[in-house]
């Protein structure tokens, strides 16, 4: 382009701006749109708190408020722009800008309402921006030129042609398909959870497999929409396989271990387990880890490989009943039969202790300071803790022993000194010194005779 051509185009642009953009009719339409927005903004700021104060206590309003409150501003703006458009038409003024603004606001209303049904905030915002941008291009008549421009920007690898339009379509298709796959997977998981004939492990397994299949299909459809031949990914797929074999061994091991755990049903959500010093119940089985929540509220993410290779104590594998052993010591002077009866009675009065099998108290031996007893009791809800029920029983035993005069002894030792080197000599010397220090008895006045 020569300098004269550039100057000619610049002159044409300035003339268009002067005749179209800076004309009285155009500025008047801009003024109508701006005044409509200002009026809508003021009314929205006033109307929102008023509705919240008047209807905030109604449950129905609380449910629909997140959907209708964001629509107040564009709805009022559309209403006032439509009123201004009618006034301009009545006076015979051009209305092409107000017509475009009305179309854009209508598209904004529809897209904003539809995005409310997308739970992910980031995905909802992305959907709203992309949809409104496409609608704006279509309303302005620039969609076809924009598509042609994006399609012309392309590169070719052999017989494969990749254009910027194809990349954009692929990204949009990928986002939409992933969203649909996640929605369908969530619905599938909820449906599986309502099937009583399936075990919890089977429900989790089928849900995970369904999600993997749906996401894989979504990725393949997105790649195909860009114009890439899937057979061209064979070499790339082989490279990924080698990378997985060397660099992602732990990840793949955890994934396979997770599938094995779901298939053999050795653990399932809700089981009470103990692994690697961690005691708690299983919250969920993920693809890479198992979530174990302890009694103090900590959530441990245990790799699935550890659940396969390490010893795991499953307290509720085949039955939820768990037997607890509680040691108790009583004095040798106590009534042993009465003490055993009180121990069993304390267990029977505890709410979480089962009546069948019934608690039993056994004599385990005769210790140095006490008679060793052991209470054996069964509970049916180990997920609620196994130490707290033992503490409750011991507290009842304490109260009953004190009420019936049964002593709980503490360690005692009797010391007998038999002999020690040099001890006899030191005792004799101490005795002689004591005799010398003791005064002679008083025998009275000396007898003088007749």
Q: Is the pLDDT of residue 377 over 90?
A: yes
Contact by Cβ (8 Å): 374, 326: yes
With a cut of 50, say whether residue 163 has pLDDT above it: yes
pLDDT (average), residues 374-378: 93
**C-alpha dist (Å) from residue 204 to 38, 198, 258, 273, 446:** 53, 10, 11, 18, 116
Res. 359: pLDDT tops 80: yes
Tell me the per-residue pLDDT of 275-296, one tens digit each, with 9 for 90 and over: 887 888 888 887 788 888 887 7
Confirm whether 256-314 and 322-403 share one CATH topology. no
Cβ partners under 8 Å of residue 293, min gap 6: 280, 281, 283, 299, 300
Q: Supply the mean pLDDT for the chain.
A: 77
Quickly state the pLDDT bin for 445 (edges 50, 70, 90): very low
Greatest mean pLDDT among 63-67, 403-407, 415-419, 430-434: 403-407
Section 96-123 average pLDDT: 79
Tens-place pLDDT, residues 117-144: 777 777 777 777 878 787 877 777 777 7
User: Which whole number is the average pLDDT over 302-331?
Assistant: 85
Question: DSSP readout, 132-188?
Answer: HHHHHHHHTT-HHHHHHHHHHSEEEETTEEEEHHHHHHHHHHHHHHHHHHHHHHHHH
Tokens of 258: 């997770």
Query: Domain 256-314's class?
Result: mainly beta
Give the best-scoring range by mean pLDDT among 6-15, 47-56, 294-303, 426-435: 294-303
Residue 398: per-residue pLDDT: 93
Q: Does 429 have pLDDT greater than 80?
A: no
User: 10 Å Cβ neighbour count for 23?
Assistant: 13
Q: Is the CATH number of domain 322-403 3.30.70.100?
A: yes
Q: Which residues contact 62 (CB under 8 A, 6 or more apart)?
A: 56
- Of 379, 373, 357, residue with least CA distance to 406: 373
Phi and psi at residue 144, to the nearest 5°: -65, -45
Residue 322 contacts residue 315 (beta carbons within 8 Å): yes
Q: Would you place residue 392 in the very low, low, confident or very high pLDDT band (cuts 50, 70, 90)?
A: very high
Q: Where are the domains of the chain?
A: 8-141, 161-247, 256-314, 322-403
pLDDT-above-90 percentage for the chain? 10
DSSP character string of 77-122: HHHHHHHHHHHHHHTT---HHHHHHHHHHHHHHHHHHHHTT-S-HH
pLDDT for residue 449 is more than 50: no
Confidence at residue 338, expressed as pLDDT on a 0 to 100 scale: 92
Residue 373 clears pLDDT 90, i.e. is over it:
yes
Mean pLDDT of 163-169: 76
State mean pLDDT over 206-219: 80
- What are the pLDDT digits (tens) for 239-284? 666 666 666 677 778 778 887 887 777 888 888 888 887 888 888 8
């Amino acid at each position: 382009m020569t300098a004269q051509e550039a100057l000619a185009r610049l002159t044409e642009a300035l003339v268009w701006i002067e005749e179209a953009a800076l004309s009285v009719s155009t500025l008047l339409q801009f003024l109508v749109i701006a005044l409509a927005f200002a009026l809508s903004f003021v009314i929205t700021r006033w109307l929102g708190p008023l509705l919240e104060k008047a209807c905030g206590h109604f449950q129905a309003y609380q449910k629909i408020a997140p959907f209708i409150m964001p629509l107040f501003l564009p709805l009022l703006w559309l209403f006032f722009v439509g009123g201004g458009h009618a006034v301009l038409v009545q006076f015979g003024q051009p209305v092409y800008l107000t017509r475009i603004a009305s179309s854009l606001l209508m598209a904004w209303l529809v897209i904003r309402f539809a995005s409310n049904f997308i739970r992910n905030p980031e995905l909802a915002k992305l959907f709203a921006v992309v949809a409104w941008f496409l609608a704006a291009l279509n309303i302005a008549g620039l969609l076809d030129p924009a598509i042609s421009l994006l399609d012309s920007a392309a590169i070719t690898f052999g017989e494969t042609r990749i254009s910027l339009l194809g990349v954009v379509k692929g990204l949009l298709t990928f986002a939409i398909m992933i969203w649909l796959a996640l929605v369908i997977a969530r619905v599938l998981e909820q449906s599986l959870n309502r099937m009583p004939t399936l075990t919890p492990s089977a429900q989790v397994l089928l849900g995970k497999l369904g999600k993997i299949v749906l996401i894989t299909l979504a990725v393949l459809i997105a790649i195909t929409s860009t114009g890439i031949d899937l057979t061209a990914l064979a070499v790339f797929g082989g490279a990924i396989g080698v990378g997985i074999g060397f660099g992602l061994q732990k990840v793949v091991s955890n994934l396979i271990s997770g599938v094995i755990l779901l298939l053999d049903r050795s653990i399932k959500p809700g089981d009470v387990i103990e692994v690697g010093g961690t005691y708690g119940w299983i919250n969920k089985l993920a693809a890479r880890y198992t979530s174990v929540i302890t009694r103090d509220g900590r959530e441990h993410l245990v790799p699935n490989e550890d659940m396969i290779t390490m010893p795991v104590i499953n307290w509720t594998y085949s039955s939820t009943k768990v037997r607890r052993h509680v040691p108790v010591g009583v004095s040798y002077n106590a009534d042993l039969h009465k003490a055993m009866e009180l121990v069993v009675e304390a267990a029977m009065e505890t709410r979480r202790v089962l009546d069948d099998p019934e608690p039993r108290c056994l004599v385990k031996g005769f210790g140095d300071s006490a008679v060793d007893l052991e209470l054996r009791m069964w509970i049916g809800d180990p997920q609620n803790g196994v130490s707290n029920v033992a503490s409750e029983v011991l507290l009842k035993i304490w109260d009953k022993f004190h009420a019936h005069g049964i002593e709980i002894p503490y360690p005692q030792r009797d010391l007998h000194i038999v002999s020690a080197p040099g001890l006899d000599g030191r005792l004799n010397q101490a005795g002689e010194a004591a005799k010398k220090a003791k005064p002679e008895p008083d025998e009275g006045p000396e007898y003088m005779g007749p």
